[in-house]
Amino acid sequence: MPVQPPSEADELKMVYQEIIEGCTRSSKGFFIKHLYELEQIELTRKRIEFIQDYVNQGIPSEDDRLTRLKEDGEWSNEKDEDIKAYRQTIADNERMVTQVIAQQQGAIRHAIATNRQQLIALLTERKNLIGTTAEELADRDGSAFLAYLSLHKDRVCMLPLFAAWEEFESLDEETSQKYLDEIDHALGRLNEKNVRRIAALPFFLNSFSYCKDNIQTFLNKPISQLTNYQVHLFSLGSRNLNILAQASGSPPDYFDKVTADAICLWYDQQYSIIIGKRKQ
């Protein structure tokens, strides 16, 4: 007899458990630690080291390559400004789309998609012209270093899968890529959409409401030791609790025929209404 897949609610509760525990178990049996801010900074520091190492080996930096391309007339400052403008416009529209009524969101999302296509075209052109740079190679090594920091033998993430970075670095490319692929696959459920869904559902908001004024009491950790997923979930949860306090009604009850997306939509619509009243 075939096994029934988990319901949406059960699936989201399992994702929630991973966020709260700060780790995800992979299908291969090892655990993937969710990094907190200081560990992300360590990753940044290591990437800077990688870039410097490649520059010392004679690999050009991106700035060096762009300078040469501009001198040769193959690239221009105007195109750099276009890239900045597209990025800024996309960021502004993405902030705006949650602050307007639902009927206006379609046009804004269409503008975001159009600008993103134009941005991708320019970035692709620039990438093809630049070729391999120290930053590109450092990004590759940075992904490997991220895997090294994340991989553990135990659920509480006290026993690293690799004793030292040099041990992971010595793996052949095929083996290290398998670890990277497994991390991407295992963390796939912890996407933006699922975090937004969890932040809108009663099983999270009911308990979170008791400590929204002092988030440290929720996990008994200082903010600096919360993972990126935890910080994002708590930020969305605080937003939704504020919406509940100001909204004129209540979100739809969560059951089989009411999806988490429908509840998220209710919060977004109420947020738009609240922002609209403030502007008036």
DSSP letter for each residue of 149-216: HHEESSTTS-SBSSSSHHHHHTS-HHHHHHHHHHHHHHGGGS-HHHHHHHHHSHHHHHHHGGGTT-TH
At 127-157, the pLDDT tens digits run: 999 999 999 999 999 999 999 999 999 999 9
Specify whether the CB–CB gap between 15 and 25 falls below 8 A: no
Q: Is the pLDDT of residue 216 over 90?
A: no
Rounded distance between C-alpha atoms, residue 35 and residue 146, angstroms:
9
Residue 247 vs residue 198, higher pLDDT: 198
Confidence of residue 31 (pLDDT cuts 50, 70, 90): very high
Say whether 32 sits in a helix, a strand or coil: strand
Q: What is the mean pLDDT of the chain?
A: 91
Give the per-residue pLDDT at 214.
84
Query: Which residues touch 122 (CB under 8 Å, ≥6 apart)?
Result: 79, 82, 83, 86
Task: Answer for the pair 36, 224: CB distance below 8 angstroms, yes or no.
Answer: yes
**Rounded mean pLDDT, 18-28:** 95
For the chain, what percent of residues have pLDDT higher than 70?
96
pLDDT digits (tens, 9 = 90+) for 39-97: 999 999 999 999 999 999 999 999 999 999 999 999 999 999 999 999 999 999 888 87
Give the span between the Cα atoms of 138 and 126, in whole angstroms.
Answer: 18
The answer for residues whose C-beta is within 8 angstroms of residue 265's C-beta and 6 or more apart is: 102
Number of helical (H) and strand (E) elements in the chain, helices listed first: 13, 3
Q: How far is the CA of 117 from the CAs of 78, 88, 114, 122, 271, in angstroms?
A: 18, 14, 5, 9, 29
Residues 245 and 223: their CA atoms lie apart, in Å, by 24
Cα–Cα distance, 41 to 73 (Å, whole number): 37
Residue 3: pLDDT band by 50, 70, 90 thresholds? Answer: low
pLDDT given for residue 215 in this prediction: 82
Q: Which residue has the higher pLDDT, 53 or 215?
A: 53
The single-letter code of the amino acid at 84 is K
- Closest by Cα among 57, 194, 157, 68 to 149: 157
Rounded Cα distance between 251 and 105, Å, is: 20
Nearest to 156 by CA among 12, 1, 25: 25
